[in-house]
């Protein structure tokens, strides 16, 4: 599972090039490097599961900024690219896209953000973990992004 994530809330005017580069490196490049590192063994065994943790921000405005959106949209593109190229080798690659989960990323804004969720509450890390286990356990699913968002976005 590729779960590295950096969320620097920035406006378009405040975002620096260094912050943009760091966000892409942590949220996208790290998944590439980790996947590349485990692929030889998966290919040898002709079996493997890669699950990338994306975000609902890959498909909507989100609350962090355009740099975060871009990094997570890129991660979903990377997911589909690997999935298409590895499916014949027994390796599945999927993403789970949480939105507004009660983690340190949103400390201090819980009530404000929970009000945006149709379910009326923030998600939990355990609920995201359940989606990851479901995806990892499904041998017929590949190249998909599973949203975990309390009804904020339907696909």
Lookup result for tokens 């065994």:
45
Structural domains in the chain, sorted by start: 17-148 (3.40.50.720)
Catalytic residue among 5, 58, 67, 68: 68
Q: Any catalytic annotation for residue 68?
A: yes
* Residues forming a β-bridge with 101: 123
* Residue 105 DSSP symbol: G
Buried/exposed code over 98-132 (b: 16+ C-beta within 10 A; e: otherwise): bbbbbeebbeeeeeebbeebeeeebbeeeebeebb
pLDDT in tens, 72-129: 999 999 999 999 999 999 999 999 999 999 988 888 888 888 898 999 999 999 999 9
From residue 132, give the alpha-carbon distance in Å to each of 31, 49, 51, 129, 149.
Answer: 15, 10, 7, 5, 14
Total-model pTM: 0.93
């Amino acid at each position: 599972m590729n779960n590295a994530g950096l969320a620097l809330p920035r406006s378009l005017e405040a975002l620096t090039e260094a912050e943009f580069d760091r966000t892409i490196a942590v949220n996208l490049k790290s998944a590439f490097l980790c996947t590349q590192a485990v692929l030889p063994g998966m290919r040898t065994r002709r079996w493997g599961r890669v699950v990338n943790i994306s975000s609902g921000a890959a498909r909507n405005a989100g609350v962090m900024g355009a740099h975060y959106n871009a990094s997570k949209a890129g991660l979903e593109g990377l997911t589909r690219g690997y999935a298409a190229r590895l499916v014949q080798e027994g390796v599945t690659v999927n993403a789970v896209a949480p939105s507004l989960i009660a983690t340190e990323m949103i400390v201090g804004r819980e009530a404000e953000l929970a009000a945006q969720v149709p379910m009326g509450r923030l998600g939990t890390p355990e609920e995201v973990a359940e989606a990851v286990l479901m995806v990892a356990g499904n041998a017929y699913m590949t190249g998909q992004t599973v949203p975990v968002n309390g009804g904020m976005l339907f696909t």
